Structure 1
Amino acid sequence: MNTRDINNFFGDMDLFLMDVILKGHVKEGTKVLDVGCGEGRNGVYFLRNRFEYHGWDTDESKIKLLSYLAHSLETSNSHFRIGDFRTVESTQKFNFIICSRVLHFAESSEIFLSMWLKLKSLLVDGGIIYASLDSVVDNMIGNNEGEGMFSFPDSKLRFALTTELYNEMKKGFEEIEPLRTLVHHKERAQSFVVLKKLPS
């Protein structure tokens, strides 16, 4: 398989998400929820293969583009929804949840934890969640401005994951991959969370 084949197969997927898949954590046939799916950057692999894929996003135009992509791939098991996952009413539960670069839109630690608990409620026991978000774990980059908000060298103010918050996130979960943190051009850091929900 050459580079082009790999790109066609996985799309422009997060590398750490690809790692989770290649390690066998996401079984074929899994019911997948992609929160903040956008135009489907992380969804191509799931649309191409035997998964029940659900994409949720607040941006109607992006959902339309992703629906078009799903149609072009001739997938028969994809479902899309416009709305904020925090307020969406759903009785469905999912085996695997992707939440890539969404949680750092929280405006305080309290809001962040409420978002996290909402995601947890959508996950089956034994289900896995993959999340990526801005981070100051290990005090890498960022100045604390209070309420979980940090200023970064790129002059932006954003919510960021701390070690204390990560410990809160792990309650009721098993860590199946260690927390990984990647520094981008000494301007910001991003952490990648992979946790498995324990039986209630």
Structure 2
Amino acid sequence: MNLAEQFGNMDIYLFDQLLKGRVTKEMRILDAGCGTGRNLIYFLRNGYTVYAIDRSEDAIRAVWQLGETLAPDWSNEQARVEAVEKMSFASESFDFVMSNAVLHFAEDQAHFLQMIQELWRVLAPGGLLFMRLASSIGIEERIKPLGNERYLLPDGSTRFLVNEAMMRGTTATLNGMLAEPLKTVNVAGQRCMSTWCLKKPGLD
């Protein structure tokens, strides 16, 4: 089996979390805004306990097919058509929650905070919340404000953009801890993507 078959098109910064030992088979994992499951292939193939949600019925059907193909104990109940801001899972259900390239589709700041609070709600004490999202960091002079924290980017896309102050302020409001420093990648001055990893305080 080659690397592409083993890991699929996994986000490189999620792969970094694997290398650091932050995702283990004992954990319950949620992919919130999973798309067609590009970040789930390794976990499904290797016996992790995985759940997923997405607003797209087509995307969830693709994840069902992946689960049925790669995971012997798979149940379609593990992947659901739901919005990130209103999930049906019980509070504190997951040890590792990832939301990759999803939060920058927020309609405004209130919607963004709804999604963040819901991700935090389903995360168990001591768990890790991994987020990759578009930010204004490094392209502040190249973006055009459209209102409600949404911007027109140089690549022609429209996104809700966070900045470092927003991420740090939200971290403090949640009583979370940065699991590692904030990281931002500037893609040829056209867009910037930030990696934001939060640890939820444990029970002790």
| Fold match by TM threshold 0.5 | yes
Q: Which moved more, 1:165-174 or 1:12-21?
A: 165-174
* Partner of residue 177, structure 1: 180
- SS at structure 1 position matched to 2:2: helix
- Contact kept in structure 2, 1:48 and 1:75, CA below 8 Å: no
One-letter identity of the residue aligned with 1:61? D
Q: Which residue of 2 aligns with 1:91?
A: 90
Percent identical residues: 31
Do 1:48 and 1:73's aligned partners in 2 also have CA atoms closer than 8 Å? Answer: yes
Q: Distance in 1 between matches of 2:144 and 2:49?
A: 41
Distance 1:98 1:126 in 2: 15
Are the equivalent residues in 2 in contact too, given 1:51–1:77 (CA < 8 A)? no
Q: How does 1:9-88 map to 2 (within 5 A)?
A: 9-77=6-74, 79-88=78-87
- SS of aligned partner of 2:44: helix
Following the alignment from structure 1 to structure 2, what is the Cα–Cα distance between the partners of residues 77 and 31?
Answer: 14
Segments of 5+ residues of structure 2 without an aligned counterpart are: none
Checking the alignment, whether the CA contact within 8 Å between 1:47 and 1:75 is kept in structure 2 is: no
Distance 2:39 2:186 in 1: 21
CA distance in 2, matches of 1:167, 1:183: 19
1:139-175 deviation per Cα after TM superposition (whole angstroms, max 9, x unaligned) = 5552333321122112222101112210123121111
Kept in 2: contact 1:12–1:42 (CA 8 A): yes
TM-score w.r.t. length of structure 1: 0.91
In 2, Cα distance between the equivalents of 1:72 and 1:27?
21
Deviation at 1:77, TM superposition (A): 4.3
Q: What SS does structure 1 have at the residue aligned with 2:167?
A: helix
Aligned residues: 197
The alignment's C-alpha RMSD in Å is 1.8
**Aligned residue number for residue 133 of structure 1:** 133
Q: Which moved more, 1:102-111 or 1:40-49?
A: 102-111
| Structure 1 residue 130: Cα displacement | 0.8
For structure 1, the 5+ residue unaligned runs are none
1:186 aligns with 2:189: yes
C-alpha separation between the residues in 2 aligned to 1:74 and 1:89?
23
- The correspondence of residues 139-150 of structure 1 with structure 2, limited to 5 A, is 139-140=139-140, 141-150=142-151
SS of residue paired to 1:137: coil
Q: What is the letter of the counterpart of residue 25 of structure 2?
A: E
Does the CA-based 8 Å contact 1:181-1:189 persist in structure 2? yes
Shift of 1:194: 1.1
Write out per-residue CA displacement over residues 12-39 of structure 1, whole angstroms, 9 at most, x where no aligned residue.
Answer: 0000000011110112221000011111
**TM-score, reference length from structure 2:** 0.89
